[in-house]
């Protein structure tokens, strides 16, 4: 069993270079290093360490959490609408079951590659999702259909304020244990981030695969792009233990260079979007306009608004309690 410090995930750039090997590496990792019951403890410790190491630490995670929740809620509403239409008009269940393992597998792998290659946190979120085993999902069409139904809402006439968290026995039990402790905001936020990111990734994979099955383009989805504010973006750094494992700083340079190039490539594909009170105006693809808030929104701001951190604290509340009760049957 590898220790938590040495636990390294297949990088997101490998999903594009060699999708089959990237997936095989993930499935081997999930079988070998992250098999239950070890998975929650290892990933929980890793997430706490990760939060403390990033700039602004817990504050940055608090600021990001509300957008993860709202985006996941909107995605699940869209999935529900699309799935109901496909079930009723195009006999989705029969079509998926008749597709065969190879066709089903291609839809699912393409979905995971498209998502995990675009954002590091989505790639790492695969470690939270034992359900996303390509071997299992492609072999039995009913497994995917059950996963689809697990993220569908009872009422798609509105976007809820809380997503439908995907239940899994190991994570449910871990959440219940952590809820009893309730001794640290860092622990609460670490678990909250794990549960929302796993639900977010599962929801997106289901939606992307469903659209692929019917020959539709995947939906656009939001990923965070750090604002530089005249400063260089933080380059990725290799953990000291991994640097030593690769033979020292000199031997680790190619890996570091690859990580930095991959980060720049991902960021180059992320246009900015106005962040003022839900405005959806996006920077033009030609890069002619760059903004945190678009000019019309900025000009009409006539009052002070809460900071991202203040909004996050108001919206998230007691993370573990809220999330645990959401996933219980």
Q: Are 151 and 203 in contact (CB under 8 A)?
A: yes
Other CB atoms within 10 Å distance of the CB of residue 307:
11
Q: Are 65 and 311 in contact (CB under 8 A)?
A: no
Give the separation between CA 122 and CA 200, rounded to whole angstroms: 8
Expressed in angstroms, the distance from the first to the final Cα of the chain is 32
Place of tokens 């997503």: 163
Q: Are 145 and 48 in contact (CB under 8 A)?
A: no
Greatest pairwise CA separation for the chain in angstroms: 59
Cis omega before residue 37 (within 30°)?
yes
pLDDT the model gives residue 255: 61
235 Cβ neighbours under 8 A, 6+ residues apart = 260, 263
**Predicted confidence pLDDT, tens digits, the chain (329 residues):** 444 445 688 999 899 999 999 999 999 988 876 666 677 888 888 888 888 877 777 888 888 888 889 989 999 999 999 999 999 999 999 999 999 999 999 999 999 999 999 888 899 999 999 999 999 999 999 999 999 999 999 999 999 999 999 988 888 888 888 777 667 888 888 889 999 999 999 999 999 999 999 999 988 765 554 444 444 445 455 555 455 545 556 665 676 566 666 666 655 555 666 655 556 677 776 667 766 656 777 666 544 444 544 444 444 433 333 333 333 22
Q: Are 45 and 194 in contact (CB under 8 A)?
A: no
pLDDT the model gives residue 104: 97
pLDDT the model gives residue 151: 96
Give the separation between CA 271 and CA 285, rounded to whole angstroms: 7
pLDDT the model gives residue 257: 67
User: DSSP states of 14-39 as a string?
Assistant: HHHH-HHHHHHHHHHHHHHTS-TTHH
pLDDT the model gives residue 42: 84
pLDDT the model gives residue 36: 66
* Chain centre to alpha carbon of residue 81: 21
121 Cβ neighbours under 8 A, 6+ residues apart = 197
Q: Which residues pair with 282 in a beta bridge?
A: 273
Q: Are 15 and 113 in contact (CB under 8 A)?
A: yes
Domain ranges of the chain: 4-225+270-327
* Chain centre to alpha carbon of residue 87: 26
pLDDT the model gives residue 304: 41
257 Cβ neighbours under 8 A, 6+ residues apart = none
Give the closest residue to 200 by CA, choosing from 277, 135, 121, 82.
121
User: DSSP states of 147-212 as a string?
Assistant: HHHHH--S--SS--SS--PPP-HHHHHHHHHHHHH---HHHHHHHHHHHHHHHHHHHHHHHHHHHH
């Amino acid at each position: 069993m590898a220790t938590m410090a040495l636990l390294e995930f297949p990088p997101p750039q490998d999903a594009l270079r060699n999708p089959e090997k990237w997936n095989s590496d993930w499935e081997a990792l999930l079988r070998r290093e992250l098999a239950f019951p070890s998975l929650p403890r290892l990933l929980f410790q890793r997430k706490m360490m990760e939060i403390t190491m990033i700039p602004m630490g817990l504050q940055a995670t608090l600021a990001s959490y509300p957008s993860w929740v709202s985006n996941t809620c909107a995605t699940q509403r869209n999935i529900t609408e699309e799935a109901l239409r496909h079930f009723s008009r195009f006999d989705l269940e029969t079509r998926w079951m008749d597709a065969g393992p190879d066709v089903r597998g291609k839809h699912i792998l393409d979905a995971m590659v498209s998502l995990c290659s675009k954002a590091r946190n989505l790639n790492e979120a695969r470690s939270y999702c034992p359900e996303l085993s390509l071997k299992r999902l492609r072999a039995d069409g009913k497994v995917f259909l059950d996963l689809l139904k697990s993220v569908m809402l009872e009422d798609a006439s509105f976007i809820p304020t809380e997503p439908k968290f995907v239940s899994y026995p190991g994570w449910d039990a871990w959440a219940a244990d952590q809820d009893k402790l309730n001794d640290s905001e860092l622990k609460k936020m670490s678990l909250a981030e794990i549960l929302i990111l796993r639900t977010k990734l599962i929801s997106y994979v289901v939606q992307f695969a469903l659209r692929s099955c019917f020959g539709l383009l995947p939906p656009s989805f939001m990923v965070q792009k750090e604002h530089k504010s005249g400063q260089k973006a933080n380059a990725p750094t290799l953990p000291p233990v991994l640097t030593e494992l690769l033979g020292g700083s000199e031997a680790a340079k190619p890996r570091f260079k690859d990580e930095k190039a991959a980060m720049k490539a991902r960021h180059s594909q992320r246009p900015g979007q106005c962040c003022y009170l839900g405005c959806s105006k996006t920077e033009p693809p030609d890069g002619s306009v760059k903004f945190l808030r678009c000019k019309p929104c900025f000009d009409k701001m006539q009052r002070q608004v809460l900071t991202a951190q203040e909004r996050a604290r108001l919206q998230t509340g007691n993370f573990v309690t809220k999330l645990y009760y959401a996933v219980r049957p």
